[in-house]
Amino acid sequence: AVVEAPKTQALLASFEKLGLKNALFIAGPEVDTNFALASRNIPNIDVLPNAGLNVYDILRREKLVLTKSAVEAIEARFAVGA
């Protein structure tokens, strides 16, 4: 997930359009700096890199949002025989 500027209000408006009020974002190998800055003051929204994925954070949020790169990295990490 990438945003052009670290603007909390703009990101919050986008989340509201998507109906995201309580979510965990898994952003891929690294979290975009602007996305992290914009989201850090939004209550009930957490952002982690895929290496930070854990059961506790998944269960404490209503929605789980994954970027395509996060899905690919998680699949590779938990692949059978890997």
Residue 58 falls inside a structural domain? yes
pLDDT tens-digit map of 4-29: 888 999 999 999 999 999 999 999 88
Range of the domain at 35: 8-77
Residue 40 falls inside a structural domain? yes
| Domain count of the fold of the chain | 1
pTM of this structure: 0.86
How much is the pLDDT for 13? Answer: 94
Residue 71 falls inside a structural domain? yes
> Could you tell me which residue, 56 or 76, shows the higher pLDDT?
56
How much is the pLDDT for 59? Answer: 97
Residue 29 falls inside a structural domain? yes
Residue 32 falls inside a structural domain? yes
How much is the pLDDT for 82? Answer: 55
Helical H segments across 1-82, by residue range = 8-18, 33-39, 55-59, 68-77
Residues 6+ apart with CB under 8 A from 45: 15, 20, 22, 23, 24, 25, 39
Residue 3 falls inside a structural domain? no
Residue 82 falls inside a structural domain? no
pLDDT tens-digit map of 24-67: 999 988 999 999 999 999 999 999 999 999 999 999 999 999 99
Residue 31 falls inside a structural domain? yes
